Amino acid sequence: MMRSYLPVQVPFLAGSAGAVRYYCDSFTLFGAIYALQALFMPIAFQYLLSFPLLQDLPQPTLIQLAAQMDDRQFVRREVVSTKEQTRFALGFLLSGRLQGVDFTVDGRSVGLFFVEPGDYFGELSVVDNKPAAEHVIAVSKSRALFLEATLSRQLIFEHPSIAQAVMAKLSQRVREVTAQRTLLALPNPFQRLCVQLLLLARASQSGAMALEFAPTHQELAIMINSSRETVTRAFQTLILRQVIERQGDHLYLRDMQFLSDVGNGRIEPPR
């Protein structure tokens, strides 16, 4: 049977983030009822399905969560959360990119990790109800949803699959912090950069190892305790040696063995 879809506009949401368009099956009563119900769903509901952590939740639970979340937008370099704040929430990044950072005693920035769209952050404070171990800033224009800590803990305790995923994420964070501490103990910034690129790389759709939406030289510099100028010079060397290749926002690692050999001290870093 041919299906016909009728656009439905929400008048009181026009001109706002909610000017939402729904489509209902004009041939079925069920479709019409579903469309009317959808009109009054919280705007954030449609976005929750983009988060792997929440995808297995039943629809009624997702609708309830959407009603309880705060929707916030951040400009580049804006602070998303700080170590000093005493009210905690579990954040879900819809778009943009965030970075966890801290500062040394002499005021230098140290980059710790990135948060990509579809990921969540703030789970450490949600779990133990203690201040965060880092500040989180937006490294590009970003949008995130926030679920207050008490509600987040309730969500984790009531759904074993979410509890398991959060535990796995915390374990991953411990491993990453350990690897980062080992990296920072390397004496040469070129070595540290090679290891950092290996840690950040993931298999791309083509199978090649790459950094999608590669960090800027400044963002990499604060992760390896170096300067932007040093990272830029190192990148020039790596590109000339065809070790890495930049294509748009992607940075491909073409010679993993070279990066590994330099990082492990098997060959001397170029000068």
Q: Please report, to the nearest 10 degrees, the dihedral formed by the alpha carbons of residues 5, 6, 11, 16 taken in order.
A: 30
Q: In this structure, is residue 57 part of a structural domain? A: no
Q: What is the pLDDT of residue 213?
A: 85
HEC sequence for 75-105: CCCCEEECCCCCCCEEEEEEECCEEEEEECC
Secondary structure element (H or E) that encloses residue 203, with its range: strand 202-203
Judge if 143 and 94 occupy the same domain. yes
Q: In this structure, are 67 and 172 located in the same domain?
A: yes
CATH number of the CATH domain containing 139: 2.60.120.10
Structure confidence at residue 103 (pLDDT): 85
- Rounded Cα–Cα distance for residues 255 and 187 (Å): 22
Q: What is the pLDDT along the chain (271 residues), one digit of tens a residue?
A: 333 333 333 333 333 333 333 333 333 444 444 444 444 444 567 789 999 999 999 999 999 999 999 999 999 999 999 999 999 999 999 999 999 998 877 777 888 899 999 999 999 999 999 999 899 999 999 999 999 999 999 999 999 999 999 999 999 989 988 998 899 999 999 999 999 999 999 988 888 899 988 999 999 999 999 999 999 999 999 999 999 999 988 999 999 999 999 999 999 988 7
In this structure, the answer to whether residues 133 and 97 fall within a common structural domain is yes
**Residue 41, pLDDT score:** 47
Between strands 89-95 and 142-148, the pairing is antiparallel
Rounded to 5 degrees, what are φ and ψ at 212? -75, 140
Residue 141 belongs to a domain: yes
Query: What pLDDT, on a 0 to 100 scale, did the predictor assign at position 36?
Result: 47
219 is a domain residue: yes
Residues 18 and 117 reside in one and the same domain: no
Residues 220, 148 share a domain: no
Q: What distance in Å separates the CA atoms of residue 253 and residue 262, rounded to the nearest whole number?
A: 14
Q: Which domain holds residue 205?
A: 186-263
> Are residues 165 and 131 located together in one domain of the fold?
yes
* Same-domain status, 68 and 128: yes
Helices (H), 185-270: 189-200, 217-223, 228-240, 256-263
Q: Judge if 200 and 155 occupy the same domain.
A: no
pLDDT at position 105: 72
Question: What is the predicted pLDDT for the residue at 43?
Answer: 55
Same domain, 179 and 190: no
Dihedral Cα 150, 98, 95, 244, nearest 10 deg:
-140
Residue 88 placed within a domain = yes
Residues 113, 224 within the same domain: no
Q: What is the pTM of this model?
A: 0.74
223 occurs within a structural domain? yes
The total of structural domains in the chain comes to 3
Query: Which pLDDT belongs to residue 44?
Result: 60
Q: Are residues 221 and 254 in the same domain?
A: yes
Do 170 and 242 sit in the same domain of this protein?
no
